[in-house]
Amino acid sequence: MLFCCTIGAQAERKFNERPKLVVGIVVDQMRWDYLSRYYDQFGNDGFKRLIGEGYSCDNCQINYVPTVTAIGHTSAYTGTTPAFHGICGNDFFIGDKPVPCVGDDTVNTVGSDSNKGQSSPKKLLASTIGDQLRMHTDFRSKVIGVSYKDRAAILPAGRSANAAYWLDTKNVCFVTSTYYMEELPEWAKAYNLELKNNKKAQELNRKIGYDPICGTVTTDMAIAALKGEKMGKGDATDMLCISYSQTDVIGHEWGTRGEHTDGVYLQLDKDLGRLLKALDEQVGKGNYLLFLTADHGGAHNFQWMKDHKLSGGAWRIKEDVLGSDLEAYLKDKLGADLSIINGINSYRVFLNHGKIQELGLTVSQVKDVLIDYARQMPHVQFVMDFEKVNTWSVPDVLRSRALLGYHPERSGDLLLVLEAGWYEFWTGGSSPVGTTHGAWNPYDAHIPLLFYGWQVNHGSTSREVHITDIAPTITQMLHIQQPNACIGEPITEVTDSKD
């Protein structure tokens, strides 16, 4: 009887044990193969420490389209997809109105005199890991997001977060919005003063995202939050959400190969080492649970592909898609012009439903005409009507990812799937030597996923898991409820780790 009671007491203690701190890290535009590409150049304190002591899910896939920043950050922390969390892109349309995913003109900037703080999570329709943690602890847990980008700080932290901080590049300082507070805390003001004295950061100004130093100041701000808010030192588990954006900015500008991309990942490795050291000192090694992933990957530059006799190319939106040929086709078939199309965003066609009604047309008519036109376009492999995709003759992988990425009020009307290696190119906006992302293909959808720290054993798996499995894995380990629209499943190789 005594033996049974002892076992029962040990099980109860373990069930109620939690780490002092959860740390989520998203590296923007990080392809999974970068872990092996740079492994021999990494030091021992950053990525190698996470790989060598943690658990690596080597076949983590994004299970929806499009694969873009706002959606990736949101899906990792909510355990669900745009169909349920409603963040359908960095920008999208609601009705016929274009909206930025976190833009909010009902709030004001805190920390500078610019409008860079007019952002909030109000368009997010689902709860995050942090929201669930806050509710479980009667809001005693602190949840904070930090990033260069507003959306990358705000969306991971969730609607009930204590704070989110992002970089105002005009003034080179971290700001937040009145959604969270009326005044920056003293520790944040102190760090902004340090940043004002950072000569290189100030000289780069609006170009700071194009330099590895952006990751360094993001790390510094995260460490300042860790110390200033005494995270991991209270009686409830806290959560710190960090996103590194400089990798994405540099990838868009210079692509997946070359000195700029090499340099940013080697510097990030050093910054991760500093972050881990600070966590060890402030919280204690083994007392925090950490995961690292990406919001999406990135395609190789189309010219680089061509130079090496590989397939790929630039799908020029202004010239090849929304040009005079399409306008003539619409006039001939419908007596309409390009004004019936609000835009093309991440391979999705957003129709102007109001304009279509004005012209006495139906949305179905317009979609049929555009589908016929798109099927004739070079390098367009499939065209899907979101409302009919479940019955169309398309591969299951595309059907599933299209449906999971589709919100009926926010995702547009048609989805275009290009041949592998082809991607959207905006003349005047896209870099000819850079890259982009957004497609279903492995180069955009295969991302790193590392777990480290509290009750995580060393190991790896090649079993397919999804970005939506991160949130239920973390919440399972915390013994709290999953986010309220979660569709993912706990990764049992991590949750069932043995002491």
Q: What is the pLDDT of residue 4?
A: 52
Three-class DSSP category at 451 = strand
Give which of 152, 184, 163 is closest to 76, Cα–Cα. 152
Q: What is the pLDDT of residue 498?
A: 57
Longest Cα–Cα distance in the chain: 86
CA distance 158 to 471: 12
Mutual orientation of helices 324-334 and 363-375 as an angle, nearest 10°? 130
Q: What is the pLDDT of residue 192?
A: 98
CA distance 400 to 397: 5
Three-class DSSP category at 21 = strand
User: Residue 459: enclosing H or E segment and its boundaries?
Assistant: strand 459-461
pTM of the predicted protein model: 0.96
Three-class DSSP category at 169 = coil
Q: What is the pLDDT of residue 321?
A: 87
Q: 289 Cβ partners below 8 Å, 6+ apart?
A: 19, 21, 22, 23, 451, 452, 453, 454, 455, 456, 474, 477, 478
- 237 is annotated as an active-site residue: no
Q: Is the dihedral of CA 474, 475, 477, 478 positive or negative?
A: positive
Q: What is the pLDDT of residue 8?
A: 47
CA distance 87 to 440: 17
Sheet with strand 60-61: strands edge to edge: 446-447, 60-61, 465-466
Whether a cis peptide bond, with omega within 30° of 0, leads into 66 is yes
CA distance 172 to 330: 47
Q: What is the pLDDT of residue 499?
A: 52
Residues 67, 69, 216, 436: which is the catalytic one?
69
Please state whether beta strands 414-418 and 348-351 pair in parallel, antiparallel, or not at all (unpaired): antiparallel
CA distances from 183 to 46, 408, 424, 485 (A): 34, 38, 41, 33
**Residue 174 in contact with residue 192, Cβ under 8 Å?**
yes
Q: What is the pLDDT along the chain (499 residues), one digit of tens a residue?
A: 554 544 444 444 467 799 999 999 999 999 999 999 999 999 999 999 999 999 999 999 999 999 999 999 999 999 999 999 999 999 999 999 999 999 999 999 999 999 999 999 999 999 999 999 999 999 999 999 999 999 999 999 999 999 999 999 999 999 999 999 999 999 999 999 999 999 999 999 999 999 999 999 999 999 999 999 999 999 999 999 999 999 999 999 999 999 999 999 999 999 999 999 999 999 999 999 999 999 999 999 999 999 999 999 999 988 888 889 999 999 999 999 999 999 999 999 999 999 999 999 999 999 999 999 999 999 999 999 999 988 888 999 999 999 999 999 999 999 999 999 999 998 888 999 999 999 999 999 999 999 999 999 999 999 999 999 999 999 999 999 999 999 999 999 999 965 5
